[in-house]
């Protein structure tokens, strides 16, 4: 999401249902989960309407169509070209839209583009935009807006580089332009042929490119507005949008109110008149608001359910607790650019000294799966799920081996004792409990002292991006259904590579995977890359997420997809 940053991404989904997933993330879209992983993109867009939405009778609707969700914290940005987290992504996915959309099952449908044609060599995509698409200013959304937006993300002269710029490297010459190897932006493979026609040329065939076009980094921005006001995304009054909802009000650090966009081309399918997003970062307060009917939804993707409440909520049918496996990974980042974690053996020691199952059983209570790799379950491989084809048995928990590696690593680093260091996480009781438990394990098993520090979300992201940390919490969810969405962010210099990992052999494997459409060859290269990432212990994998949330029984057609992202654009409130 953050990475792609996502995300990112990128917010804890698990049962802790924590906050972001960087990068992540971390905001995530997925490929058609019902089709073969090797299927080619289609020239024929499908309707993105949900059957359950279209079958809804107005007689079943409550008079007050208001959905209330806790956003947890202030969005760091609402500029789609700069977003990298679940909080920003949750808002952007409601107020903006790209060329394509994905439905509940991950199937690609038409968005701003009503149709597209793909060349026989799968390198050229010609998108035809709808006739009835507008900005909230009343101006038409044009192909020129898309061309401007994508090139803006890639602009190497940006004062703050776009964290997800690498998500556009699928375009011909995009990487070269972004890395200053090419100076002529006109060589980048995106061109508005006219107001309604966008021609995209790829560097190599990419089976999931249509899914990428639904991701927020690919959203358009209003060229005229952005050129006049670069800070357009800072206030509701200046934000320009083209999605199902309008950004009606933004009380910073307090709340956001969205209202139905009557000029949206699919407005007849949008039942909710208003969405109220609170910014409450205390988990107990969120649950209290849910219990007193101030919220209709609590938990995943950006809210929090206290981990110590989960066992009792599971036992109470009236709580309507939902637990779902999602394609996301919870992990810790080492700062590889500074001592002591620039030493591989020290990193390996810390990874081997954590009891993941004990963490799940005693702290998260979320039915997560211990992670010894990085690509989670739910991600497609060549013929089956990647995790079925490639076992994550890269290392084991081994206290004696951990102690040995720590001693060897300290000797290599000429250290007689590890200095006291910090483990940082964003504000969240669940993250704090996990960090405290792991710090206790390191103290008990390795004899090292760790200070756990909680930071406000924006401050935390800045410190992590600037590598102003020693160990930091992270989470990553799928931006699309392919292992590449997890692995490409650790390429040297990547915008979401907050660990500072730099390995030319790793980069070579990622590029090899991107240079062929042969799925077996691709998956072998990606499997080799994951093995290298974990053998180097560039990150410390902890567990594969589950999403956990509660929703009122009258909330209908609002869902969490396979990657952990919430969809409420076609939701409604049933009469109750």
The two beta strands, 369-370 and 539-551, are: antiparallel
The residues, ordered by sequence, that sit 6+ positions from 77 with a Cβ below 8 Å of its Cβ are: 83, 88, 233
**Whether residue 333 sits in one domain with residue 203:** no
Structural domain range at position 374: 327-548
10 assigned to some structural domain: no
Cα(568)–Cα(415) distance, integer angstroms: 53
215 assigned to some structural domain: yes
Cα(486)–Cα(329) distance, integer angstroms: 9
540 strand-pairing partners: 332
Structure tokens at 296: 């209709």
486 assigned to some structural domain: yes
**Whether residue 345 sits in one domain with residue 212:** no
Domain of 182: which CATH number?
3.90.76.10
Q: Report the candidate in 44, 117, 556 with the shortest Cα–Cα distance to residue 320.
A: 556
**Whether residue 217 sits in one domain with residue 364:** no
Cα(391)–Cα(387) distance, integer angstroms: 6
286 strand-pairing partners: none
**Whether residue 334 sits in one domain with residue 189:** no
Q: Which of 174, 205, 234 is the last residue of a domain?
A: 234
Domain of 430: which CATH number?
3.10.105.10
**Whether residue 486 sits in one domain with residue 356:** yes
Give the pLDDT score at 55.
Answer: 52
145 assigned to some structural domain: yes
Q: Which of 234, 267, 284 is the last residue of a domain?
A: 234
Alpha-carbon Rg for the chain in angstroms: 23
- Structural domains of the chain, count: 2
Q: Report the candidate in 303, 293, 221, 279 with the shortest Cα–Cα distance to residue 15.
A: 303
Give the pLDDT score at 515.
Answer: 85
CB atoms within 10 A of CB 19: 32
Angle between helices 344-352 and 399-412 (to 10 degrees): 160
Cα(232)–Cα(351) distance, integer angstroms: 43
Structure tokens at 568: 């409420």
Give the pLDDT score at 217.
Answer: 98
**Whether residue 335 sits in one domain with residue 198:** no
Cα(10)–Cα(27) distance, integer angstroms: 7
Give the pLDDT score at 160.
Answer: 92
Cα(94)–Cα(567) distance, integer angstroms: 8
Please give the C-alpha separations between residue 474 and each of 242, 288, 293, 329, in angstroms, as whole numbers.
Answer: 31, 27, 32, 8
**Whether residue 338 sits in one domain with residue 228:** no
Residue 299 falls in which region: left (phi positive, over 0), alpha (psi -120 to 50) or beta: left
The residues, ordered by sequence, that sit 6+ positions from 36 with a Cβ below 8 Å of its Cβ are: none
Q: Is the pTM of this model over 0.85?
A: no
Cα(538)–Cα(341) distance, integer angstroms: 9
Q: Which of 214, 234, 254 is the last residue of a domain?
A: 234
**Whether residue 503 sits in one domain with residue 360:** yes
Q: Are 327 and 478 in contact (CB under 8 A)?
A: yes
Mean pLDDT of the chain: 90
The residues, ordered by sequence, that sit 6+ positions from 408 with a Cβ below 8 Å of its Cβ are: 345
Q: What angle do CA 568, 572, 576 make, to 5 degrees?
A: 140
Give the pLDDT score at 51.
Answer: 39
Give the pLDDT score at 103.
Answer: 78
User: What would the DSSP string read from start to end of 50-86?
Assistant: -HHHHT--GGGB-SS-EEEEE--S--S---TTT--SH
290 assigned to some structural domain: no
Cα(375)–Cα(20) distance, integer angstroms: 17
**Residue 360 gets which letter from DSSP?**
I
pLDDT single digits (tens) 537-558: 999 999 999 999 999 999 999 9
**Whether residue 331 sits in one domain with residue 187:** no
515 assigned to some structural domain: yes
Q: Are 175 and 169 in contact (CB under 8 A)?
A: yes
Which residues in the chain show pLDDT less than 50? 1-40, 47-54
29 assigned to some structural domain: no
147 strand-pairing partners: none
Structure tokens at 356: 């993941």
408 assigned to some structural domain: yes
Cα(525)–Cα(304) distance, integer angstroms: 37
**Whether residue 379 sits in one domain with residue 521:** yes
């Amino acid at each position: 999401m953050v990475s792609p940053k996502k995300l990112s991404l990128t917010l804890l989904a698990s049962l802790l249902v924590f906050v972001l997933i960087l990068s992540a993330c971390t905001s995530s879209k997925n490929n058609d989960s019902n089709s073969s992983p090797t299927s080619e993109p289609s020239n024929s867009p499908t309707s993105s309407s949900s059957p359950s939405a279209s079958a809804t009778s107005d007689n079943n609707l409550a008079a007050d169509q208001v959905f209330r969700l806790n956003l947890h914290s202030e969005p760091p940005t609402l500029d789609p070209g700069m977003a990298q987290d679940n909080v920003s992504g949750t808002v952007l996915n409601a107020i903006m839209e790209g060329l394509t959309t994905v439905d509940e099952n991950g199937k690609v449908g038409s968005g701003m583009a009503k149709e597209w044609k793909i060349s026989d060599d799968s390198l050229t995509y010609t998108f035809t935009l709808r006739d009835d698409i507008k900005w909230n200013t009343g101006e038409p959304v044009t192909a020129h807006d898309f061309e401007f937006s994508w090139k803006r993300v890639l602009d190497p002269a940006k004062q703050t580089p776009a964290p997800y710029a690498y998500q556009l490297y699928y375009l011909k010459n995009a990487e070269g332009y972004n890395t200053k190897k090419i100076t002529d932006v006109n060589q980048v493979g995106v061109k508005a042929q006219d107001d309604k026609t966008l021609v995209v040329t790829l560097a190599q065939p990419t089976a999931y490119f249509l899914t990428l076009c639904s991701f927020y980094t690919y959203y358009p921005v209003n060229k005229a507005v952005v050129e006049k006001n670069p800070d357009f995304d800072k206030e509701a009054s200046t934000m320009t949008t083209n999605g199902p909802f309008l950004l009606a009000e933004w009380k910073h650090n307090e709340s956001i109110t969205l209202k139905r966009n009557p000029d949206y081309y699919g407005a007849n399918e949008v039942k909710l008149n208003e969405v109220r997003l609170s910014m409450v970062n205390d988990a107990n307060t969120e649950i209290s608001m849910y219990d007193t009917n101030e919220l209709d939804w609590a938990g995943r993707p950006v809210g929090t359910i206290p981990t110590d409440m989960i066992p009792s909520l599971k036992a109470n049918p009236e709580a309507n607790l939902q637990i779902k496996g999602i394609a996301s990974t919870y992990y810790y980042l080492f700062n590889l650019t500074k001592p002591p974690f620039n030493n591989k053996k020290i990193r390996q020691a810390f990874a081997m000294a954590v009891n993941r199952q004990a963490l799940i059983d005693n702290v998260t209570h979320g039915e997560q799966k211990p992670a010894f790799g990085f690509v989670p379950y739910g991600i497609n491989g060549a013929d089956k799920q990647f995790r079925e084809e490639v076992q994550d048995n890269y290392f084991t928990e081994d206290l004696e081996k951990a102690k040995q590696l720590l001693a060897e690593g300290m000797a290599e680093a000429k250290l007689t004792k590890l200095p006291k260091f910090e483990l940082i996480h964003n504000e969240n009781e669940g993250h704090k409990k996990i960090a405290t438990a792991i710090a206790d394990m390191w103290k008990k098993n390795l004899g090292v002292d760790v200070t756990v520090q909680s930071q406000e979300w924006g401050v935390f992201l800045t410190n992590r991006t600037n590598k102003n940390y020693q160990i930091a919490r992270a989470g990553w969810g799928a931006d699309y259904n392919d292992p590449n969405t997890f692995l490409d962010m650790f390429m040297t210099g990547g915008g979401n590579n907050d660990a500072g990992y730099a390995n030319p052999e790793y980069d070579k494997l990622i590029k090899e995977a991107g240079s062929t459409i042969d799925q077996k060859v691709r998956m072998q290269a990606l499997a080799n890359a994951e093995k290298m990432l974990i053998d180097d212990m560039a990150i410390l994998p902890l567990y594969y997420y589950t999403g956990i949330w509660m929703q009122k029984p009258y909330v209908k057609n609002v869902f969490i997809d396979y990657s952990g992202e919430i969809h409420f654009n076609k939701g409604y409130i049933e009469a109750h």
